[in-house]
């Protein structure tokens, strides 16, 4: 991967990131550990994820412009996030990246970049 461009650019920008988010959330909703954490109307969640990932991967600061500092750990505290749920979230993202046609080398970089935050959000050891 070219080190002079952002992950956002390497992905292909806004259109490809939207595709990833659209591939990701049906997987999340269908997952037995993750689905129950999300509202039935997933569209607002998808939009926030798109805004956040755009910024997180080096694109425009869309999330911060609209919602302020991401403070993602604090925003996730109301939800019981276990190590198993963090792993499931990453697994769904890996599958979404594959479905979206992201090259394997870039998939590995993206999952590595997302692994830190996913595990940082863990706030519970028990399902429930």
Q: What is the CATH number of the domain that holds 74?
A: 1.10.490.10
Q: What are 55-113's pLDDT values in tens digits?
A: 999 999 999 999 888 887 777 878 899 999 999 999 999 999 999 999 999 999 999 99
Answer whether residue 1 is part of any domain.
no
- What's the total number of domains in the chain? 1
pLDDT band for position 3 (cuts 50, 70, 90): low
Integer CA distances (angstroms), 26 to 9, 23, 92, 108, 125, in order: 25, 6, 9, 21, 25
∠79-82-85 over CA atoms, to 5°? 90
Domain region containing 65 = 7-120
Report the distance separating Cα 42 and Cα 80, nearest Å.
Answer: 18
Give the pLDDT score at 70.
Answer: 81
Q: pTM score, two decimals? A: 0.91
> H helices within 68-123, ranges in order?
72-76, 83-99, 104-120
């Amino acid at each position: 991967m070219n080190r002079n461009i952002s992950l956002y650019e390497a992905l292909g920008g806004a259109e490809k990131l939207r595709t990833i988010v659209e591939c990701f959330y049906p997987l999340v909703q269908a997952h037995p550990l993750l689905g129950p954490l999300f509202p039935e109307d997933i569209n607002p969640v998808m939009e926030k994820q798109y805004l956040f990932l755009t910024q997180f991967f080096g694109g425009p600061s869309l999330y911060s412009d609209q919602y302020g500092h991401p403070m993602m750990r604090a925003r996730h505290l109301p939800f019981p996030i276990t190590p198993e749920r963090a792993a499931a979230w990453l697994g769904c993202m890996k599958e979404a990246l594959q479905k979206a046609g992201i090259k394997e080398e870039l998939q590995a970089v993206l999952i590595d970049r997302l692994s830190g935050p996913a595990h940082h959000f863990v706030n519970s050891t028990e399902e429930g």
